[in-house]
Structure 1
Amino acid sequence: MTAIDSERKSLNFPLLARKIRQYLRSPSTQLAAVVALISYLSYAYAHISWTNPALISVSVFTGAFLPSYAKLSNKAELWANNRFGFVTAGRLGRFAPQYAFNLAVFWIMYWGGALNRDGIASVGGFASAALLTSLASQGAQYISLFLFQRGIGDANRNVLAGLSATMVLVAFGTAGVPIAREAFLAVGLGFGALVFGIGLLSDIRSKVAPKGGIGLFFGTFNPFHNTHLAIIQRAIEERGLDKVIIHPTLIPRLHADAFRKGQIRVARLENGFQIYETTEKADLNADYFPSGRQFLPPETRRVLIELAVAESGLGDKAEVVFYREIYDSKGFRGVIAEVRRRHPGVRLHGLHGTDAGGMSVRATMDECGWIYPWRILRRDKVSATAIRRGAKGMTSAVVTDVLEQLTANLPVVTAGGRRFRNDNGVLTEGE
């Protein structure tokens, strides 16, 4: 028995070593280490506490656990979004664990003698310092990712630059250094007002929206199911929409970037779905597949939407568009700009659910000007993940029919009076 156990341990050692190498190579791990180092150097210099055990311990802990803490913040925001459906609630959900973390950090450093007590008192005490730091870091991350989504910089480098600048400012501001203290107070309050103000305006627009105009419905639609149809039908009725423009995601920005870096790949085709998997280059701290690993090709998802809309009788109220070049270069921001160009002066409403994808689309729309959100709380049991795993009764009859033909890998798929060539799950009209 001992020999077997020893053999199992020796066989697992290479796997453990590989996991450790992947963790150390992770951009998130490296970002955390750099932020922790910059934080230590800034506080040690500003507060003259180079050898303080509390500061050293906090810096090491931050470097080791910052990625896990970031995941916790993401989960808290997602829970609040799904529970309440308001942007402000989601941001409060993210803010709560960040403030708790910073409060603990400042308390430890304060009572451990790592901080200049007069400096901390000048910004309202360690609880106030933790509050302002949380607001400043949220604002820095928001602006960093805002720039990245517009093609400026890299996501990790932007966040690193934003957090590093924030840490330096916080360190000198809490030390009571003139100008730095005032800048820290202004940035904390200003970024807090920016992040929560944008969310609050979005929530107000969602409740006091006027009727009439065009609805925008974006998402992966992987596949298009009954809740998607219900969202369109309810939004048209409640907002008095002239029509709804539907545009599916082609390749999500997260996946396009990961494919380019060789972090994920298509492993195989299964029941018409492309199955994604991570590679050795993947970031262990990144969630590449928040909505699952199975994806229908975008051309096929477009066909399913068209068929379902036609079958439901919404053909005159819903338009499926596919601006491939615009989406590939500018994402949904480009699609929104194109809709505005084609429909000048028309009021726009953004349709979405309260899952991760829906709230991500909501954020994009909020950043593109005065669009009125229309959201539906996801309380039903319809799940695209369940459908991909074989669940029945969650899609319209025509979508169910096509999925069954894809599962059978038929070379020609027929549905809704149309014929499609099936090339490894990609549906192309005609034979």
Structure 2
Amino acid sequence: MAATGSDGKMMGLSAYAGKFLRYVRSPSTRIAAFGGLMMYLSYAYAHGSWANPALIGVSVFAGVFLPSYSKLSNKAELWANNQFGFVTAGKLGRFLPQLAFNLAVIWLCFVGGAFNLAGIASVGGWAGAALLTTLASQGTQYLGGYLVARGIGDANRNTIVSIVFNMVLAGLGTAGVPGAREAFLVLGFVLGVLFFGIGLVSDLRSVLAPKGGVGLFLGTFNPFHNSHLMMVRRALDERGLDRIIIHPTLIPRLHADAFRKGEIRVGRVREDGFQVYEKTDKADSNVDYFPTGNIFLPPETRKALIELALAEAGLGNRVEVAFYPETYNTKGFQGVIGEIKRRNPGMRLHTLHGTDFGGMLVRQISDECGWIYPWCILRRDKVSATAIRRGAKGMTSPVVTDVLSQISQNLPVVTAGGRRFRNDNGVLTEGA
């Protein structure tokens, strides 16, 4: 028994050591450590507090915990979005915890004697410095999110880089360094107003939207379920839409980039046709690669399920399933929206979305693609694509349930809705 226990301990220690090494190798960890160093250097240089223990302690803390801080910030915004369904609420969900953190950190440095008192007074004292730092940080984080939506970086790393940039500027600005103080004040107010202003305008457009036009419904639809059908019906009725265009993702941009870098791979294909993605040894341990789950039906199959469900519901004449693979692969949903605008010149556009991670990402993309009216719905019906992928029943329309059942039986040919598909490990190709 002692040997078994010893082996268990050795295996446990080995596992912990492996996790620690992956954490150390993580680009996010290195960026955070660099950020802690830059925070110390900028404040120490600007305020002349090289040996101040409070500054050293806060800088070390920031360098170690910035990745966790970034994750918590992103989760706080997502939680607020899910609770209230407004962009402004999500932004406040991110802003308030960060303001509390900055108040605590800057107060500790203030009472610890790390600041030039004249410099800190010139930006409204320690509380004013914390507020301006947080406002500027929200703006730079928004810019980081803007890049994520375009396939550049990821949510956690971009947030860390944004915070690091802001910490350096705050260190110089709070000391009254010529030019830095003015830049700090302008950045705080301008980016703060931009950050909250865009969200407020988006929320107002959602509430005051006129009726009529074309609805855009973009997402993974993995798979298309009863809540998706409900959203389509309600949007047609409540917004008086002429029609709705649905476009599913192919491989989500986050995953496509991670596949290219070798950070994730398809680990296996389940009997029911779902592909299971998994991280590789190259993955960044601080990155959430699967915010919407790691189990996906092939895009061709998801498209077929949407078409079959709409036809069964009698909505095929009012809802179009678009599929622009080349456009999506090169330009993402921004390109898809641009293509839809090109095909519908002068038409009023509305975006349908939920309040989960994917839904709010689509909302952000739509807001940045021009004057598109959001139509948001709070999901409270307990229907979940995640639950369906885990085997839950009764959440999809009869035809979707039937097709998924045929795929799980590994039938070479799947028939449904008067259509016939070849089944290659869950990939449906019509015309078999």
The TM tier, using the shorter chain, reads over 0.9
CA displacement at 1:6 relative to structure 2: 2.4
**Are residues 249 and 156 of structure 1, via their aligned partners in 2, closer, same or farther at CA, if it must alter by over 3 Å?**
same
**Are residues 180 and 284 of structure 1, via their aligned partners in 2, closer, same or farther at CA, if it must alter by over 3 Å?**
same
Matching residue of 1:393: 394
Matching residue of 2:44: 44
Matching residue of 1:183: 183
In the alignment, the residues of structure 1 paired with residue 404 and residue 233 of structure 2 have an alpha-carbon distance, to the nearest angstrom, of 23
Range moving further from structure 2, 141-150 or 354-363: 141-150
- Counterpart of 2:337 in structure 1: which amino acid? I
Matching residue of 2:336: 335
Summarize deviations over 1:128-163 as a string: whole Å, max 9, x none. 111111111121122233245446678787656544
Summarize deviations over 1:247-271 as a string: whole Å, max 9, x none. 0011111111111111111111111
Residue 136 in 1 paired to residue 97 in 2?
no
Write the mapping of 1:152-301 to structure 2, written as runs, cut at 5 A. 162-270=162-270, 271-301=272-302
Secondary structure at 1:73 match in 2: helix
In the alignment, the residues of structure 1 paired with residue 211 and residue 396 of structure 2 have an alpha-carbon distance, to the nearest angstrom, of 29
In the alignment, the residues of structure 2 paired with residue 288 and residue 110 of structure 1 have an alpha-carbon distance, to the nearest angstrom, of 38
In the alignment, the residues of structure 2 paired with residue 151 and residue 258 of structure 1 have an alpha-carbon distance, to the nearest angstrom, of 10
In the alignment, the residues of structure 1 paired with residue 421 and residue 251 of structure 2 have an alpha-carbon distance, to the nearest angstrom, of 22
CA displacement at 1:31 relative to structure 2: 1.2
- Counterpart of 1:310 in structure 2: which amino acid? A
**Are residues 160 and 381 of structure 1, via their aligned partners in 2, closer, same or farther at CA, if it must alter by over 3 Å?**
closer
- Counterpart of 1:19 in structure 2: which amino acid? K
The unaligned stretches of length 5 or more in structure 1 are none
Summarize deviations over 1:335-378 as a string: whole Å, max 9, x none. 00001100100000000011111111001100101000001101
Summarize deviations over 1:30-69 as a string: whole Å, max 9, x none. 1111111111110010001111111111111111111111
In the alignment, the residues of structure 1 paired with residue 76 and residue 220 of structure 2 have an alpha-carbon distance, to the nearest angstrom, of 23
- Counterpart of 2:112 in structure 1: which amino acid? G
Secondary structure at 1:114 match in 2: coil
Matching residue of 2:19: 19
- Counterpart of 2:256 in structure 1: which amino acid? A
Preserved contact between residue 274 and residue 295 of structure 1 (Cα < 8 Å): yes
User: Percent sequence identity over matched residues?
Assistant: 70
In the alignment, the residues of structure 1 paired with residue 154 and residue 208 of structure 2 have an alpha-carbon distance, to the nearest angstrom, of 37
Preserved contact between residue 72 and residue 97 of structure 1 (Cα < 8 Å): no
Secondary structure at 2:382 match in 1: coil
Matching residue of 2:145: 145
In the alignment, the residues of structure 2 paired with residue 202 and residue 56 of structure 1 have an alpha-carbon distance, to the nearest angstrom, of 41
Preserved contact between residue 353 and residue 377 of structure 2 (Cα < 8 Å): yes
The unaligned stretches of length 5 or more in structure 2 are none
Preserved contact between residue 353 and residue 359 of structure 1 (Cα < 8 Å): yes
Matching residue of 1:383: 384
**Are residues 416 and 152 of structure 1, via their aligned partners in 2, closer, same or farther at CA, if it must alter by over 3 Å?**
closer
**Are residues 148 and 221 of structure 1, via their aligned partners in 2, closer, same or farther at CA, if it must alter by over 3 Å?**
closer
In the alignment, the residues of structure 2 paired with residue 342 and residue 249 of structure 1 have an alpha-carbon distance, to the nearest angstrom, of 19
Summarize deviations over 1:307-344 as a string: whole Å, max 9, x none. 00111001111000000000000000000000110010
Range moving further from structure 2, 301-310 or 64-73: 64-73
Range moving further from structure 2, 414-423 or 164-173: 164-173
In the alignment, the residues of structure 2 paired with residue 103 and residue 348 of structure 1 have an alpha-carbon distance, to the nearest angstrom, of 42
TM-score by length of structure 1 reads: 0.97
Matching residue of 2:359: 358
Secondary structure at 1:13 match in 2: helix
In the alignment, the residues of structure 2 paired with residue 258 and residue 286 of structure 1 have an alpha-carbon distance, to the nearest angstrom, of 11
In the alignment, the residues of structure 2 paired with residue 107 and residue 409 of structure 1 have an alpha-carbon distance, to the nearest angstrom, of 63
In the alignment, the residues of structure 2 paired with residue 259 and residue 335 of structure 1 have an alpha-carbon distance, to the nearest angstrom, of 22
Matching residue of 1:28: 28
Matching residue of 1:64: 64
Write the mapping of 1:102-141 to structure 2, written as runs, cut at 5 A. 102-141=102-141
Preserved contact between residue 122 and residue 174 of structure 2 (Cα < 8 Å): yes
CA displacement at 1:3 relative to structure 2: 3.9
TM-score by length of structure 2 reads: 0.97
CA displacement at 1:11 relative to structure 2: 2.3
Write the mapping of 1:317-328 to structure 2, written as runs, cut at 5 A. 317-328=318-329
In the alignment, the residues of structure 2 paired with residue 157 and residue 281 of structure 1 have an alpha-carbon distance, to the nearest angstrom, of 16
Matching residue of 1:100: 100
**Are residues 151 and 415 of structure 1, via their aligned partners in 2, closer, same or farther at CA, if it must alter by over 3 Å?**
closer
In the alignment, the residues of structure 2 paired with residue 13 and residue 418 of structure 1 have an alpha-carbon distance, to the nearest angstrom, of 55
Range moving further from structure 2, 267-276 or 9-18: 9-18
Secondary structure at 1:237 match in 2: helix
Range moving further from structure 2, 38-47 or 283-292: 283-292
In the alignment, the residues of structure 1 paired with residue 66 and residue 400 of structure 2 have an alpha-carbon distance, to the nearest angstrom, of 43
